[in-house]
Amino acid sequence: MTDPLLQPTVRDRPAGPPPWHSQYIPVVAFFGGAAAMTVVALRNGRRLGLDRSGRRTILVAGALTLLAEFAFALLLPAAADGTGMRLTVRAISVLGCLVQLVPLLRLDRLHMLRDDPYASLWGPGTLAVLTCGVPEGVLLYLVWTQV
């Protein structure tokens, strides 16, 4: 039997593509909203080897953030300035993203300790903003103006 104290603390990286650096996910949240950040955070969690409960936490936080965005859009009158609505929705997205980062941070630190390279988030982040963020923004605008 081996002593757990003598076991290595930094294990090998999970098989598959390298993860994205988690500190850039709030940028996706700012530009793409709750749906885009949830897609990116879930994919990054899979790349980091996040367990099922951590992925569930990310999914629940994303759904609650999306509900909070739509609730705010419903409560804000359409006569108000659109700038305030856009900035508040972005702030809600970034706050929701901070909750999503909690299960990712430990695994991200382990990845850093291994000195493994990170993959670029430019392409996947832009794709998430265009495919998830733009439709979410259009739906938020329609809800806000109650068309």
Rounded distance between C-alpha atoms, residue 25 and residue 111, angstroms: 16
Q: Is residue 1 part of a domain?
A: no
For 110-124, write each residue's pLDDT tens digit.
Answer: 888 888 889 999 999
For 63-91, write each residue's pLDDT tens digit.
Answer: 999 999 999 988 877 656 677 788 889 99
Domain extent for 37: 18-145
HEC profile of the chain: CCCHHHCCCCCCCCCCCCCECHHHHHHHHHHHHHHHHHHHHHHHHHHHCCCHHHHHHHHHHHHHHHHHHHHHHHHCCCCCCHHHHHHHHHHHHHHHHHHHHHHHHHHHHHHHHCCCCCECCHHHHHHHHHHHHHHHHHHHHHHHHCC
Q: Is residue 43 part of a domain?
A: yes
Under 8 Å between Cβ of 55 and 114: no
Q: Is residue 100 part of a domain?
A: yes
Higher pLDDT, 21 or 81: 21
Q: Is residue 116 part of a domain?
A: yes
Average of pLDDT values for 54-61?
97
Average of pLDDT values for 41-58?
95
Q: Is residue 38 part of a domain?
A: yes
What is the pTM assigned to this prediction? 0.86
Q: Is residue 9 part of a domain?
A: no
Residue 115 has a pLDDT of 81
Residue 14 has a pLDDT of 66
